[in-house]
Structure 1
Amino acid sequence: MSVVDVSNVSAGLFITGAVFILLIFSLLSLGILKMFQQQSRAGWYSFAGAVVSSVVFGLVLNEWFV
């Protein structure tokens, strides 16, 4: 293993990544919770929201940071 230099990561990229990662994983966990609560429609909506958020995250990264 080696040391990774993260000093070149901009604040905007870090904040964007953190916000989208929190959004995506919270929607996934909410979807799993709703499935265990037998509320399948709300669970599928949460899973769909996570997928849409992932696609938007990819588009934002491609447009602003690449």
Structure 2
Amino acid sequence: MAALNAADCVRAFADKKSGKTAEREERGKCLDYLRLGHTLVVPSLDQLGRSIQDLSPIVSGLR
């Protein structure tokens, strides 16, 4: 979080539950919050989705 604060991050989202399921509340809030010109930072792609099938619609939606 210190690095995000140092980079002037405006909003951070973090799921506290296990990522075993595709539905994660904070990820949904994050994706709803994003607007044109925003930058999404994730520590690794497996934090955004658990499989290629899970990631594909997310990435398509970000475009």
TM-score normalized by structure 1? 0.27
Bigger Cα Rg: 1
Higher-helix-fraction structure: 1
TM-score normalized by structure 2? 0.28
| More contact order relative to length (CA 8 Å, sep ≥ 6) | 1
